Structure 1
Amino acid sequence: MRLGRHADVWQGVAQAAPDRPAVVSRSRRLTHAEFTAEAAALARHLEHAGIRPGDSVVIYSYNRPEFLVTLYACLATGVAPVPLNFRYRANELRDLLLDCEARMLVYPSSLGAVVTEAIAGLQSPPAQLEVDDDAAPTAPTTPTTPTAATAATTSTGPAGQAGPTAVAYHEAVAEPGALPAVPPPGGELRLYTGGTTGMPKAVLWDTDHLLDGMLFSTYSLVGIDPPQTVEEAVAIAVDRAPRVATLPLAPFIHGTALFTSLNTLVLGGTVIIHASPRLDVEEALRLLHDEAATRLVLAGDAVALPLVTAAEQAGTGLGQVRSVISSGMRLSDETKRRLHALADLTIADLLAATEGGPFAAAITSSVDDLPARLKLMDDAAVLDNDGVEVQDRVGALGRLAFRGAFAKGYLGDEAKTRETFREFGGRRYVVPGDWARVLGDGHIELLGRGSAVVNTGGEKVYPAEVEQALLDHPEVDDAVVFGTPDRRFGEAVTAVIVPAAGASIDPAELANHLDRRLAGYKKPRHVLFRDSLERSPHGKLDLARLKRDATAELAERSAEVVP
């Protein structure tokens, strides 16, 4: 059974409850009717720009209303939206524009300089659509037959760096358009995640079946049985679903924040947008209270700790928030304890992957449920080396797998697709590579991934990429990168560097060198210098010793600055 697509339900909600708020930020408010009308206007612009079903439209932006409008326009017309991390530097952005064969790039004017550098010299640069960070374009309200394409204009945003072929977003949506009654089949959402070598890979989600795979999670959270038809889904959104107002404080480039927001709109709810490239906890609290948020989406302690501290200091609690969803990194029990003290809420701490899931969740409804324990979801399994499910064998070790709804594979990487999307015993699984120990009663202990990935604040950092950037510095002779424990971010990217003979490396200059090559979250938070890494004759390192020594040195440093 296939219910329909997200865009099918959104259009139905816009017709049945046009004045209900859909997308809200400090500067913009879009009802469901206005949200749909602006997406239709943008779809008109995409069509006249020559963008066709299956083409990639990159969204290189922090959370903004225009992010969701662009996503809507793409999903409704069969164009493939491709969210990219707004922290990427020009070289990183260029690589992924080429990788997904981007036909259009949507970005805020504050990132114009990065975009200009990224597309410089490209043989076929994507068309550019620039959102003025300070502008609040008015959505058209009357869908009509598409007219002539909007003329290209020179960018005038704060960065003032975009080329003369960039089209201003507010001009692109100035003329009304119309969405197809039914999206063309075969649509994809291309959501990038880290690869084992550090090069991100686009995970391909089939948008024809994306909503069907999320029916249980969408409707179980509000205590309603999933619908069977689009018409029933619209009726639930309009008449039966409780008010849902979701405030994602994790960026839309993270699957949990994006999918939770999409499904909020399916329920006829409101997505509250903290429109900033950086977390402003005071502004987040203001939005939370002013817009009466009922649901928060976080990314572990990296986001939760500053928010909790600010709420405690303000003495305002968390208002009407009744559920907190976190993924990317686990919340500590102490942070959960503080969250429960601020409101009567349920915390779902998810173990998920861009490729599928969630595999497990630690759910707490009060401090009495602490310490939290991860429990496998219904469609999750633990597989041994032969692909046999062993989640019912206490003490068994295996790789986490998921047999519910998951992505189709990776864009342009059949080998990696075969490695991650596996078939055992006639059943298909997604197996990203995380290992777990079975504890019994459905609970597991997460053991981590076999690769050396560093998970810092929910962002995946692969050491090889950072090490190469360090070795590109003329005064660095050798380097190794790994994760060390960090209270807020889970792990901190840490580098041990051997300077070239006679060199004295200036930390500030090294930071500038890395800033030109790496996104901020990939840059080492800690840099230690050594005379040698004591490699073996074959070049091997005693990585366990290096990590142990580095952790001890950093702990000693921390203790020295505590009064």
Structure 2
Amino acid sequence: MLLHEILVDAAREVPDRIALIVPAHTPRTPGASGAPTSHAPAGAHTVWTFAELADRSRALAARVARRTSPGARVGILAHNRAEYVAAYYGVPWAGRVLVPLNPRLHPREWADQLARSGAELLLGDADLTARLDRPEGSTLELGEAVADTATDGAEFTAAGDETALTWLLFTSGTTGRPKGVRLTHRSLIAAMRGSLACRPVESDTVVLTPFPLAHVAGYQVPAHHIARRPVVVLHRWDPAELASVVSEFDVTNLSLAPTMIDALLDHVRTGDGLRERIRAISYGASPITPELIRRVDRLLGCALGQGYGMTELSGNAVFLSAADHRPELFAAAGRPGPGVKIRIVDDAGRPLPTGATGEISVRSEQVADGYWQTDTGEFANGWFRTGDLGRLDAEGYLYVLDRKKDVIITGGENVSAREVEAVLRAHPDVRDVAVVGEPDTRWGERVVAVVVPVSGRSIDPDTLVDLCRAHLAGFKVPRRVVFTDALPVTGTGKVSKPTLRARLAEDTPTGR
């Protein structure tokens, strides 16, 4: 099956059934630049049927096909909005590759990813695309791309190969520079079907997601369209807004990160209807604590389902069911979905016995087609080495123990420690630096920079924070800067980050 065929079939079978809801919102106060944090106008809900979504996706495909060459990459830089979902389908429908850009990144990062992908066209929101220096005619406002569906039905050659690329998603890696992940029709559809098998969708299910559509978590939108059910997409994450939307649109299921669940529970009030309406919450992006599980049970009383996955797996591949959310399995990530094989390997890639700790390796149709224009060895012989450390027990449950890759996860966002370190090392008074994640009750982890100043020099921590803010996305900027005389090192001279984390946990050195 090809991605757009989900829409074509649904529009034929249930044309008038609602496919997509993007609720009205109240724009946040403009930032220093004067740009609002969300694009669509307040006060107007967007509600599209399957027929309407198919028409808009087809119109977008025709416009993209006229302005680009076959197989071209098409960037998209936008806030969550209905037209974004049309691009999910429409760009691959035209035989082109969608390249989502995270709106939270720095413009330099957008420009780098557009250049590396070789994107011929950029779809987007004007308040975002205006921050990029693009050649005239290479940018198309996203709303215009789906307009006039009845009068702009130009013919185009649809994609016809399951192995063709659909989305090229950039994700942080340990090298300090994000890598593009090649997702295909086959890998995405396999991930969607696996999720539906492990999280069955009922005939009245209405799922809500606040995740940025630029993330791989967006795969759940077409997954629910396979089941012919509507998806509610928030413009942005706001727990108070989510609580009101649940009631207005009869939402039954939520897809959230643990940090979002924690924040939502702060907004649960007697009589607000959340406990009566919410049947299940699916979570991922970071582990959940037993305390939060118990709090969900106390305040909402709904089922929980965990998913373990990543961009390179086109979504989730391992699932912990509601029935498995019992104390003895709280630390487990779950069992592999249908068609997914998991093995634990040593540094040489050799399989380890049950119970042994090693790197998690995955084999499945939902594994991506590799990295864009680079081969770093993670994809080999049909297996993808995740870079995560874990173990399998005798019953087939996977336990994710740590990250072999040096990545910090804060609020569901991946931060490469090496990328932050490279920026900080550019300061003339920084002799050495190590960036690590520090536990945070709300965000999972926060970014901490441990800095060794040049002998005899004094550094204002705010100066280092400002330096990072000038070059990196906001979520990558250190929340704490700690100064030390020397970094702990191993016998081979490498910085020992486990030792560093332990020292940070033991005391609170002076710093910002």
User: Does TM-score exceed 0.5, indicating one fold?
Assistant: yes
1:318-357 CA distances to partner (integer Å, 9 max, x unpaired)? 4433222222111222222222334453322122121116
Match of 2:168 among 185, 190, 193: 190
State the partner residue of 1:156: none
Q: Structure 1 536/190 Cα, relative in aligned 2: closer, same or farther at 3 Å?
A: closer
Q: Structure 1 72/319 Cα, relative in aligned 2: closer, same or farther at 3 Å?
A: farther
State the partner residue of 2:210: 249
Cα distance in 1 for partners of 2:19, 2:261 equals: 25
State the partner residue of 1:92: 109
Cα deviation, residue 97, structure 1: 0.7
Match of 2:239 among 270, 278, 281: 281
1:129 and 2:147 matched: no
State the partner residue of 2:119: 102
Cα deviation, residue 432, structure 1: 1.3
Report 1:385-464 matches (<5 A). 385=346, 387=349, 389-390=351-352, 393-405=353-365, 406-413=367-374, 415-416=375-376, 419-423=377-381, 428-464=382-418
> Which shifted more, 355-364 or 331-340?
355-364
Contact 1:381 1:389 in 2 (8 A): no
Match of 1:471 among 408, 419, 425: 425
| Equivalent residue letter for 1:271 | V
State the partner residue of 1:232: none
Cα distance in 2 for partners of 1:199, 1:338 equals: 38
Match of 2:65 among 47, 50, 63: 47
Cα deviation, residue 400, structure 1: 1.6
Secondary structure at 1:251's aligned position in 2? Answer: coil
1:177 and 2:177 matched: no
| Equivalent residue letter for 2:140 | L
1:322 and 2:279 matched: yes
1:211-248 CA distances to partner (integer Å, 9 max, x unpaired)? 2453243255337xxxxxxxxxxxxxxxxx61332211
Contact 1:76 1:180 in 2 (8 A): no
Cα deviation, residue 501, structure 1: 5.2
Q: Structure 1 540/263 Cα, relative in aligned 2: closer, same or farther at 3 Å?
A: closer
Secondary structure at 2:471's aligned position in 1? Answer: coil
Contact 2:450 2:482 in 1 (8 A): yes
1:203 and 2:181 matched: yes
Contact 1:88 1:518 in 2 (8 A): yes
Q: Structure 1 355/554 Cα, relative in aligned 2: closer, same or farther at 3 Å?
A: same
Contact 2:4 2:92 in 1 (8 A): yes
Cα distance in 2 for partners of 1:465, 1:383 equals: 28
Cα distance in 1 for partners of 2:223, 2:453 equals: 51
Contact 1:382 1:436 in 2 (8 A): no
Report 1:538-553 matches (<5 A). 540-553=494-507
1:12 and 2:9 matched: yes
Cα distance in 2 for partners of 1:180, 1:431 equals: 38
Where structure 2 has 5 or more consecutive residues not aligned to the other structure, the ranges are 25-43
Secondary structure at 2:131's aligned position in 1? Answer: helix
State the partner residue of 1:22: 19
1:489-531 CA distances to partner (integer Å, 9 max, x unpaired)? 2221100123445554344443332211001111111111234
1:64-120 CA distances to partner (integer Å, 9 max, x unpaired)? 21211111111211110111211111111111111111111122233244324xx4x
Cα distance in 2 for partners of 1:19, 1:397 equals: 51
Cα distance in 2 for partners of 1:544, 1:368 equals: 30
State the partner residue of 1:144: none
State the partner residue of 1:265: 225
State the partner residue of 1:561: none
1:336 and 2:293 matched: yes
TM-score by length of 1: 0.78
Secondary structure at 1:432's aligned position in 2? Answer: strand
Cα distance in 2 for partners of 1:194, 1:95 equals: 13
Secondary structure at 2:459's aligned position in 1? Answer: coil
Report 1:211-230 matches (<5 A). 211-219=189-197, 221-222=199-200
State the partner residue of 1:228: none
Where structure 1 has 5 or more consecutive residues not aligned to the other structure, the ranges are 132-136, 138-167, 224-240, 559-563
Give identity over the alignment, percent: 27
Match of 1:306 among 256, 263, 282: 263
Q: Structure 1 316/128 Cα, relative in aligned 2: closer, same or farther at 3 Å?
A: same
State the partner residue of 2:336: 377
Contact 1:247 1:296 in 2 (8 A): yes
> Which shifted more, 540-549 or 396-405?
540-549
| Equivalent residue letter for 2:298 | A
State the partner residue of 2:90: 73
Secondary structure at 2:170's aligned position in 1? Answer: strand
Q: Structure 1 403/369 Cα, relative in aligned 2: closer, same or farther at 3 Å?
A: same
Contact 1:359 1:380 in 2 (8 A): no
Cα deviation, residue 208, structure 1: 4.6
Cα distance in 1 for partners of 2:271, 2:483 equals: 42
State the partner residue of 1:82: 99
Q: Structure 1 245/396 Cα, relative in aligned 2: closer, same or farther at 3 Å?
A: same
1:349-400 CA distances to partner (integer Å, 9 max, x unpaired)? 122121116453333349756752333315232233365555xx44322322
